[in-house]
Amino acid sequence: MKIPLKINGVTKTLEAGPGEILLDVLRREGYKGAKFGCGQGFCGACTVLLDGEPVNACLLLAGLVEDREITTIEGVGAVDRLHPIQEAFLDAGAVQCGYCTPGFILATKALLGKTPEPAEGEIKGALDGNYCRCTGYVKIVDAVKLAAKRMGGARLGRRLEGAR
């Protein structure tokens, strides 16, 4: 079946079987930042944004995302120009093996899109669907705070620039 949708802002038509899981289809199409972890919606390694909200791509039938918008990690920043959240994860030492990192970055992006200055409890709540088995969570929470601070600074800069 053909599934029209947007991936990372680009309109596409995916070819998928009616029973195929979105994660498998995305990876086949080259979006390999979303990982297979538990396959049961626990670990968050497969996280993508569906219309801006983090979801488990391993629990979603591809045929049910018709006409919706998917954001994968490939749509966040670029290799030569990282997104501030990605920079913050590197600078805070919140990355070790990296398998879970795309999921954390996307969950953070959704959080900061709605809550630019989250409290620590809000950060932990927003990341409750993402597991890391290397670094622990302290540095990840630090990274989200750092990203929020930098992105808030950038927003303020843009506002001041606009006011001049």
Partner 1 sequence: MQGKISKIHYPRNTRELLALLGKGRGRVAPVGGGVSFSFSVPPKVSELASMRALGLDGITLDRKGLHLGALVTIAGLASSPRAARFMGGLLAGAAARVAATTNRNLITVGGNAVRLFIWSDLPVVYCAADARFMVRGAKGARRLAAEQFYKTQPLTWLRCSEFIEEITIPAPGPRAGAAYEKFCETENTFALVSAAACVTLDRAGKCASARLALGGLRLLPRMSEKAAETLRGESPSPARLRDAAAAAVGEAKAVRDIRVTADYKRELATVVARRALEKAFAAAGAQRSGESHA
State in angstroms the smallest separation of the CB of 99 from partner 1. 16
Using the minimum distance from each CB to partner 1, give the nearer residue, 33 or 54: 54
Using the minimum distance from each CB to partner 1, give the nearer residue, 15 or 66: 66
Q: What is the DSSP string of the chain?
A: -EEEEEETTEEEEEE--TT-BHHHHHHHTT-TTS--SSSSSSS-TTEEEETTEEEEGGGSBGGGGTT-EEE-GGGSSBTTB--HHHHHHHHTT--SS-SSHHHHHHHHHHHHHH-SS--HHHHHHHTTT---SSS-SHHHHHHHHHHHHHHHHHHHHHHHHHH-
State in angstroms the smallest separation of the CB of 19 from partner 1. 3
Using the minimum distance from each CB to partner 1, give the nearer residue, 12 or 158: 12
Using the minimum distance from each CB to partner 1, give the nearer residue, 1 or 134: 1
Point out which residues bind partner 1 (CB under 8 A).
1, 17-21, 24, 40-42, 44, 47, 50, 53-56, 58-61, 63-64, 66, 107, 125-130
State in angstroms the smallest separation of the CB of 154 from partner 1. 25
